[in-house]
Amino acid sequence: MALIKCYDTTGKEHTRESVDARECVKEMGWTLEPKIIELEKVVVKLTAAEKKAAKELEEAEKAKAAEQAKIDEEKRLADEKESAEKAELDKLAADLADLENKDKE
């Protein structure tokens, strides 16, 4: 006898002899054509993949934001250091000018 593909109620494919396939269809509610269940499984898989991709994107964006915050903090500290050094140089220049003025007097 010829083998026929039939599908159980979950959409899983089985291969049966024609008599057995007809009995499965009649008695157990199987079908000879794949049901939309297969498409629903694909949709669920796609949805899961989309969720995974969205989570990975969110994690990447968080990592990027954290890296940018670190860069901004390093820049702020460098600017503060530069300002402090400039203020120190200005003070030293003023002190030197005062000393030169005292020497002239």
pLDDT at residue 21 in the model: 85
Q: Do residues 15 and 2 touch, judged by C-beta distance below 8 A?
A: no
pLDDT band at 1; cut points 50, 70, 90: low
d(CA 43, CA 3): 30
Per residue in 33-42, pLDDT tens?
A: 877 655 666 6
Given its phi and psi angles, is residue 82 left (phi above 0), alpha (psi -120 to 50 degrees) or beta? Answer: alpha
Per residue in 55-104, pLDDT tens?
A: 899 999 999 999 999 999 999 999 999 999 999 999 998 888 888 888 77
pTM of the model: 0.44
* DSSP reduced 3-state for 20: helix
